[in-house]
Amino acid sequence: TVIDAAAGAAAGEATGTTIVHCCAADVPYGVLRRAGAAAVSVDLSLLPERAHDAVGEIVDAGVGLFLGVVPAVEPASPGPRRARRGDRARLDGGPPGLPGLKETAAPVRDLWRRLGFAAERLPEQVVLTPACGLAGASPGYVRTALARCREAARMLYETAG
């Protein structure tokens, strides 16, 4: 295929690590692995169950996963209102609408279990990221989103072993 030919031609010149991001639900995991991607970045909320075998195959091949677990832009605010006891902003430091720490990590842990890999392997092969690029996000939200990814990854690491 054209992709295979281009990957072969580029392989001789490539330096560094190749990480490929795909915003689609139908990610061509096998093609990306054969093209030499060291890691594949996807929006976890778009990962269909039918892709789990393909994801498992790239993990078995040693390809890293960058899993988008927080929205790339700040969720729309419903408008001003008084803070309530259950607001996420008070409980975990994030803005209302941003998933809580456990809610951010749970889909990653669930996917890993469904794939059948040892929990200790997860922090070695998975990076948590925003779902897509942050170009449309405010600087404050970028800091918050990246902090949430870091905190959820730390939680997964601490509970992996």
For the stretch 37-70, pLDDT in tens is: 999 999 999 999 999 999 999 999 999 999 999 9
The angle at the Cα of 66, spanning 120 to 75, to the nearest 5 degrees, equals 115
Which residues have CB under 8 Å from 80's CB, separation 6+? none
For every residue of 21-82, which 3-state class applies, written as one string? EECCCCCCHHHHHHCCCCEEEEEHHHCCHHHHHHHHHHHHCCCEEEEEEECCCCCCCCCCCC
pTM of the model as a whole: 0.80
For the segment 5-31, what is each residue's pLDDT rounded down to a tens digit?
545 555 656 568 999 999 898 999 999
Q: Mean pLDDT over residues 87-110, rounded?
A: 73
Which tokens belong to 140? 């404050």
Q: In what order do the strands lie in the sheet with 64-70?
A: 19-22, 39-43, 64-70, 126-130
Distance CA 63, CA 95 (A): 33
For the segment 109-142, what is each residue's pLDDT rounded down to a tens digit?
999 999 999 999 999 999 999 999 999 999 999 9
